[in-house]
Amino acid sequence: MEEIEKRDKREKEMMNFKEFKELSEKEKLLKKTTEILRVEDKDLPRVIDRFQREIKEMESDLKEFRK
């Protein structure tokens, strides 16, 4: 009885396989993105911010040059 209850609880709590595979695909995508900039995934948002900021700055500098 206890075993069956445990099983039921497990099935209820366990992520379904489709979801697991979808999340695995997302993890794979994230891995590919980290390889482009060679950074840890947790640092990626911060690094993107920096790049975007620098792009903006460089674009504005170039505008100045062109004037």
Judged by the rule CB under 8 A, the positions of this chain that interact with another protein are 3, 6, 10, 14-15, 17, 20, 23-24, 26-27, 29-30, 32-33, 36-37, 41-42, 44-45, 48-49, 51-52, 54-55, 58-59, 61-62, 65
First to last CA, the chain: 81
CB of 1 to another protein, least distance (A): 13
- Compute and round to an integer the Cα radius of gyration of the chain: 23
CB of 35 to another protein, least distance (A): 9
Q: How far apart are CA 57 and CA 63, in angstroms?
A: 10
Instruction: Match 């975007």 to its residue by tokens.
Output: 52
